[in-house]
Structure 1
Amino acid sequence: MKHVIHQLNKAFDHRVRLGVMAVLMANDEVSFNELKETLDLTDGNLASHAAALEKAGYVQVNKQFVGKKPNTTFTATKEGRQAFQEHLDTLEKLLRGGE
């Protein structure tokens, strides 16, 4: 049997991606600025990690203009929610001793 540690999702290995998904799991939609402030990130750091999660199919990035200002929001996809929940379940298994 594969050891439990190998069941963790590598997409969530980095603390920023873990934080992004945690915030998105608790909220239906989060703006770029809100997510940046919540996680204390730079624009570039958030953009690169969000792009990695979007490429994996876990986050949907929605870009639009409000008046003349760009407005970017993020939502977790169904696949992203499922993958993150499985990641959390695996962490709980590890906490219980790898059952």
Structure 2
Amino acid sequence: MDTDVFPPEFAKSAAAAAHFWKLLEQVDDLDWIYLAPPPGIGPGERTGRFRRGGRELLQTPGGTLPGISFDDYAIAIVDELESPSHIRDRFTVAY
């Protein structure tokens, strides 16, 4: 969110999410996951195919903002709940 390409209309919610993330990092008596959406999340086709990333924003080849449909984002959440691989950590998904 500290880049020139970050949409200003999302600044307030992104700052709140960053604050929440900092609070989660301090929790040691609860298993949690934090799936950070890419900037381009929105309506779209369900494909079931997307890339998984770690703590850093996934980049696109053309330098455009990465995105994912709400449907595929939901699939990523269910996948993580069924087969956890990011316990007490943050990750992201995008096309």
TM over 0.5: no
* Largest Rg, 1 or 2: 1
Q: Which has the higher helix share?
A: 1
For normalisation by structure 1, the TM-score amounts to 0.25
